[in-house]
Every structure is written in structure tokens, then in C-alpha cells.
Structure 1
Amino acid sequence: MPTPKFILDLRAKIGHDLLWLTGLTGVVLNDRDEVLLVQRADNGRWSLIGGILEPGEQPAVAVVREIQEETAVVAEVDRLLSVETTPPAAYPNGDRVQFLDLCFSCHALGGEARVNDDESTDVRWWALAALPDELSARERTCIQRALSPADQPSYITS
């Protein structure tokens, strides 16, 4: 998916300066205890589904939209798992960003998992016991939180 217009408009004003954005991460589980992952087109790494909250959009609605846009899977949000700030990052073009990320646990309602946009090269359900090695520690923690019976989100305090 191309860069959203609101970000292009901001970049026209601020250049490559650090841009603070609200990010979304979805841990999508199915009834076979598998997690939905995408293989990113930009770096080839398997990861959880993620995206950016658009102005005026509700976070739970946005994460469901991102899941469907990227994977063609229809999902429903179960609960908020965590709220945390990710470290600043830079894109190859020099744009700098930092995200306040909202991670949600979701379950699949339907749809066939497939590549549904240009952000991914593969989409697949993965058994929890056979997750790809390149998942980040943060993504693994998100998955553990989704599997936990705790119903309160985690707020990073350090």
C-alpha cells in the first residue's frame, strides 16, 4: 500500500524529521491455534500484521482493516494486549518515525489467507510450536500475551 496521503502532506512540511505515529499490531489466531503472519516485501522477514492509524479512525476498526487489506482474512478484535512506544526508526529514504503501538488480540472469522496487497510476498498460518526464527522478541511477547488468560493490557513501564 502506498504511503497514506496524510503522511505525505506532513512530510512535505517537516521533511525527514522524526514523525510520531500511532501504529497497530494484530495477533490473529484461528481455531487450530495458529497465528497469521505476513512475509514483508521490504525486508523478507516474517512478522505480525501491522499498520498505521489514519486520522479519525478508531484503533480496533483500523487493525481489522489492516488485517483484511494485507491478508484477505476477516477478523474480529478480542482485546487490547499492550500499549508501548517503539524505538525510533529510519527508512531508506531518510524518513524518521517513532510509533506508539497498540497491539490487539484478534480471531479469524473467515476469508482465505493470501497476499492481498504489495506490502507482503507471502501470508501463512503458523503453528505456535513452529514459528519462524526471525520473529522479533516484541512480536513473540505479543503472541504470548494473546495466549494469556489475562484480560488487562500490558503497559510498558521501563
Structure 2
Amino acid sequence: MGIPDFIVSLRERIGTAPLWLSGVTAVILDGPRVLLVRRSDTGEWAPVTGILDPGEGPAVAAWREAEEETGVAVEVERLVAVGTTGEITYPNGDRASYLDLTFRCRYVSGEARVNDDESLEVAWWPVDALPDMSADFLARIRNALDDGPGTRFVRPGDDVPRPAGDARGPAA
């Protein structure tokens, strides 16, 4: 789908200034494999991610993004992690930070394929032989694979990586 219309409208007013957005990650599992996309903006392998549309529920957004980006139907099983990203600068200069809600999703049906312009490739990977990707995306996948109870989140005092140049320095 590309950049949502409401983001395009905001960017017309504020240019590339930083935005704080709500996003989702859909870690799509089918037995011992996970569905990944190779992003067209960075070339990086990652789980399915996306921005919530205004008024949209997070689990609905994860379900929608899975279908939009890969053509597969999923069942959103549970929320596995709540986190934030540092500021991301996209190739076009736009800057954003995200509150990310990571969901464990179970593959239901459909043939995985590149289904929009946000991905260069879509492929199933064995969970024990993942391609190179950021530590953040690997952590999201690990959280989805963990069958333990509860949702992971950062507590006050946890060691949190800060964006480069953050005047507060490392988290206490």
C-alpha cells in the first residue's frame, strides 16, 4: 500500500520533521518457519510491519498488513511485545519513531508472495536459520517464538538503547 494517506497529508504540512507513530509487527509462523519480507526501502529482511490507520485496532492492523504485504491470511494469536524504536530516517529523508506492538500470528492460508511495493521478496525461513537482519527484528521474532506467559515490555530501569546523540545518555 505504501505510505498511508494520513501520513502523506501530515508530510505536506511538516516536511521530513520527526513523527511519533503507532506501528505493528506481525511475526507469521507456520510450524518451524517464519514468513519474512525483504523491504524495498532498506533491502533488509524483516517480519511484516506497518502503521496503524486512524481508528484501527492493533490486532486488526497486524492482520491487514499480513494480507496487504504477503497475500496470506493469518490468525492473530497474541500480543508478545510492546516496545519503541529509535528515530528512523528513511531514504526520502522522512523521520519517524514508533511505538511497536508485536503480535504472534499463525499462518492460515494463501500463497506467500510480494503483494505490494513495500517488499522486494517474500519467503518462508526456518526459525533456526534466519537471514541477516537487525537485532531489533530478531528480538521481535524471538519474542513471538517464546511460549512463556505474558507480554514483554521495557520497565523503568531496564537497559534501553537510546538513539545516537540522545542527550540523556545510556538508560540508568
Q: How does 1:1-158 map to 2 (within 5 A)?
A: 1-31=1-31, 33-132=32-131, 134-157=132-155, 158=158
State the shift of 1:43 in Å. Answer: 2.2
| Distance in 1 (alpha carbons) for counterparts of 2:142 and 2:3 | 31
Q: Show CA shifts across 1:67-119 (max 9, x none).
A: 11110110011110111110011123322111001100000000001111111
* C-alpha contact 2:48 2:66 (8 A) present in aligned 1: yes
| Distance in 1 (alpha carbons) for counterparts of 2:57 and 2:108 | 20
Q: How much is the aligned-residue C-alpha RMSD, in angstroms?
A: 1.2
Q: Show CA shifts across 1:3-45 (max 9, x none).
A: 11111111222222111100111111003x1000011112222
Percent identity, aligned pairs only, is 50
Show structure 1 runs of 4+ deviating over 4 A.
Answer: none
| Structure 2 counterpart of 1:56, one-letter code | G
| Distance in 1 (alpha carbons) for counterparts of 2:13 and 2:90 | 18
Q: Unaligned 5+ residue runs, structure 1?
A: none
Number of corresponding residues: 156
State the shift of 1:130 in Å. Answer: 1.1
* C-alpha contact 1:50 1:66 (8 A) present in aligned 2: yes
Greater radius of gyration (CA): 2
| TM-score, scaled to structure 2 | 0.86
| TM-score, scaled to structure 1 | 0.93
* C-alpha contact 1:82 1:154 (8 A) present in aligned 2: yes
| Distance in 2 (alpha carbons) for counterparts of 1:21 and 1:127 | 31
